[in-house]
Amino acid sequence: MSDTSPPATPVSSGPGSSPFRVAALQMVSTPDRERNLADAGHLIAQAASQGARLVLLPEYFCFMGHKDTDKLAIREAYGDGPIQRFLADAAKRHGVWVIGGTLPLRVTNPAPEENRVLNTTLVFDPSGAERARYDKIHLFSFEKGAESFDEARTIRPGAEVRTFDAPFGRVGLSVCYDLRFPELYRRMGDCALMVVPSAFTYTTGRAHWETLLRARAIENQCYVLAAAQGGQHENGRRTWGHSMLIDPWGEILDVRDENPGVVIGDIDLERMAAVRTSLPAWRHRVLDCP
Full set of structural domains in the chain with CATH: 20-278 (3.60.110.10)
Tell me the backbone φ, ψ of residue 21, rounded to 5 degrees: -80, 135
Exposed e or buried b for every residue in 154-188, given b needs 16+ CB within 10 A? bbbebeebbbbebebbbbbbbbbbbbeeeebbbeb
The confidence score (pLDDT) of residue 290 equals: 64
Please pick, among 62, 176, 191, 222, the residue that the annotation labels catalytic: 176
- CA–CA separation, 239 and 140 (whole Å): 14
The confidence score (pLDDT) of residue 146 equals: 74
- CA–CA separation, 271 and 95 (whole Å): 26
The confidence score (pLDDT) of residue 9 equals: 34
The pTM assigned to this predicted structure is 0.93
The confidence score (pLDDT) of residue 12 equals: 38
The confidence score (pLDDT) of residue 11 equals: 36
Does residue 258 carry a catalytic annotation?
Answer: no
Does residue 151 carry a catalytic annotation?
Answer: no
The confidence score (pLDDT) of residue 3 equals: 42
Does residue 136 carry a catalytic annotation?
Answer: yes
- CA–CA separation, 251 and 223 (whole Å): 10
The confidence score (pLDDT) of residue 114 equals: 87
Please pick, among 59, 76, 151, 258, the residue that the annotation labels catalytic: 59
pLDDT tens digits for the chain (290 residues)? 334 434 433 333 444 479 999 999 999 999 999 999 999 999 999 999 999 999 999 999 999 999 999 999 999 999 999 999 999 999 999 999 999 999 999 999 888 878 999 999 999 999 999 999 999 999 998 877 777 778 999 999 999 999 999 999 999 999 999 999 999 999 999 999 999 999 999 999 999 999 999 999 999 999 999 999 999 999 999 999 999 999 999 999 999 999 999 999 999 999 999 999 999 999 999 987 66
Around Cβ 257, how many Cβ atoms within 10 Å? 13
- In the chain, the amino acid numbered 86 is F
- CA–CA separation, 288 and 290 (whole Å): 6
The confidence score (pLDDT) of residue 5 equals: 37
Please pick, among 62, 71, 136, 222, the residue that the annotation labels catalytic: 136
Among candidates 45, 53, 29, 177, which has minimal Cα distance to 103?
29
